[in-house]
Amino acid sequence: MSLISLGKSPVMIDAGLSKEDDYFRTDKRNVHANKTKFGSDLAYRHFKFGPHIFSSNSELSFSFSSGGLSEVWGATFLPFADNDIIDWPINLEKLHEAYEFVASKIPVSTAFLKPLHNYKDFGSLGVLQLDSLFDRVKSIQLNSSTFELGATRLAVRAIQSKLSPCQLCGECLRGCPYGSIWSAKDEIPGLISEGLILLTGKRVVKLRDDSGRIYAETINKLGKREYFGYFDQVFVAAGNVETFRILAASNFVDSSAILDHSTTFYFPSISLLKSKSANDKFGLSQLFLRLQSATGKSHSHFQMYACTDALIDSITARLKVLNLVPYSWLRRVFSRVIVTIGYRDGAFDSELRLSLTLSEDVKIEGKRKVSRVRQKIRIFGVLLRSWRIFASLGLFPLFGFLSIGRPGNGVHAGSWLFKSEQCNEIGSVGGHRSVYVIDSSSLPTIPNGPITMTVMANAVRIVLGVFR
């Protein structure tokens, strides 16, 4: 979008797996497919040809499908708070300009319009219907020096939108049947009409630098090697795993990298006030809670979800014993349940490493720094800080049901390239001035909370920095 806005005609090389394509079937334990789309795990399938990706004690996702992980995401769309990135070695005004560009292209909606304290709103907001379980939030103190409670911003077309508006059908987590949740895939036809040249069904294996001009070595869905180039500038946005593999196999970066990441955890709460109304049918996050330190930096970040049928089905699929309970009873019980997803700095708990093997495969390895018991104790400390805020919402947190994801769960990861000092502030890979990395690999840090809007804005900032 940014390149086209500058009058460029970019060529995009995309693996673009479709549901009809054959794929490499990995060990199911090494595939993070907690959330499917209409029952399909397409977003997590491995390209059949070329190097393999192996995972150990990690749930870091990668995608080769058209639209990537935006096909199955939760649509949370907050920018980073300035307090969390005040020490970034970039021009924050340029990042804000890029946020404005992103907000002009992506629909952003919220459950209510109270202004946020830590997070700036960019562009206009659509309004979604607030679930009755969260009604109390409008009448309580929403922020202090230690926390902020607010309505999540979501890349969803609101009820009043003219194009594929939300129908409150409750199917958000299974795949929106109306296309109300934004996906990168939806933008491709329009971009082609504006000048994008799309080469799909091709996985980039390596990049070659010929005196500053770059060409790409690819492998297609039939296993045939193909070469494309030359390009004056190349922007790499293949996700942490593939971006690392491409650059390392091309000898542009070191053969191992440590990712900055968030520890992701889950717990339920029971509403003590009332159950959901029959009209409450929205399955994405509606509230967020930010806990912060005395310096104003985020200490942890929570996203809160009402329990729709889709979430009940997900829970019963994991806890088979619940299938013995009549579904009508389950719905009655879960009508009072709020599920919270939390994020905190993963560096306290674990290491998440990528490494290139001699055969140019990639290994994703998660390694604990502390015992599971010690990790739970630390997170319980975080949860106790939030008890008073949950109580003010009329919620009783069930911390005993705390579940902690393995490293990479939640996909809030990146920064490996910048932290290793192998790129500069505009993502230029050292020694190769024509190659720029624009996914989360080149972010200076990964603060707690949603990262997608900032990944997009940072990509725009880099493109503008290259051509202006």
Check if the beta carbon of residue 459 is closer than 8 Å to that of residue 300: no
Per DSSP, 181 falls in state B
Strands (E), 196-249: 197-200, 202-210, 213-220, 225-231, 234-236
Residue segments in the chain with a per-residue pLDDT below the cut of 70: 26-34
Q: Which helix (H) or strand (E) element contains residue 360? A: none
Q: Is 132 helix (H, G, I), strand (E, B) or coil?
A: helix
Torsion of CA 398, 144, 75, 240, to 10 degrees: -90
Separation of CA 172 from chain center = 16
Q: Is 449 left (phi over 0), alpha (psi -120 to 50) or beta?
A: left
Instruction: Give the pLDDT of residue 47.
Output: 96
Question: Rounded CA gap, 410 and 343, in Å?
Answer: 8
Which residues lie across from 67 on neighbouring strands? none
Check if the beta carbon of residue 406 is closer than 8 Å to that of residue 57: yes
Give the closest residue to 45 by CA, choosing from 33, 29, 57: 33
Q: What are phi and psi of 311, to 5 degrees?
A: -75, -35
> What are the CA-CA distances from residue 18 to residues 45, 74, 79 (Å)?
10, 21, 31
| Overall size of the chain counted in residues | 468
Q: Is 205 helix (H, G, I), strand (E, B) or coil?
A: strand
Question: Rounded CA gap, 304 and 136, in Å?
Answer: 14
Q: In this structure, are strands 413-414 and 256-271 parallel, antiparallel, or unpaired?
A: antiparallel
Check if the beta carbon of residue 362 is closer than 8 Å to that of residue 259: no
Check if the beta carbon of residue 68 is closer than 8 Å to that of residue 282: no
Give the closest residue to 232 by CA, choosing from 442, 440, 429, 11: 11
Residue with tokens 């995401």: 73
Read off the tokens for 5.
Answer: 């806005």
Instruction: Beginning with the edge strand found earlier in the chain, give each strand of the sheet holding 225-231 in spatial order.
Output: 202-210, 213-220, 225-231
Question: Rounded CA gap, 445 and 451, in Å?
Answer: 10
- Other CB atoms within 10 Å distance of the CB of residue 421: 8
Give the closest residue to 166 by CA, choosing from 103, 110, 105, 101: 110
Per DSSP, 65 falls in state B
Question: Rounded CA gap, 338 and 335, in Å?
Answer: 8
Instruction: Give the pLDDT of residue 271.
Output: 92
Instruction: Give the pLDDT of residue 27.
Output: 57
Separation of CA 153 from chain center = 14
Read off the tokens for 276.
Answer: 């959901």
Question: What is the span of the domain harbouring residue 299?
Answer: 2-467
Question: Rounded CA gap, 309 and 325, in Å?
Answer: 15
Q: Give the count of domains, the chain.
A: 1
List helix spans (H) across 89-143: 92-105
Percentages helix, strand, coil for the chain (3-state, rounded to 5) are 30, 25, 45
Question: Rounded CA gap, 239 and 235, in Å?
Answer: 12
Q: Is 270 helix (H, G, I), strand (E, B) or coil?
A: strand
What's the predicted TM-score (pTM) here? 0.95
Question: Rounded CA gap, 367 and 203, in Å?
Answer: 29
pLDDT tens track for 387-399: 999 999 999 999 9
pLDDT tens track for 305-345: 998 888 888 888 877 888 888 988 888 888 899 999 999 99
Check if the beta carbon of residue 363 is closer than 8 Å to that of residue 344: no
Q: Which helix (H) or strand (E) element contains residue 106? A: none
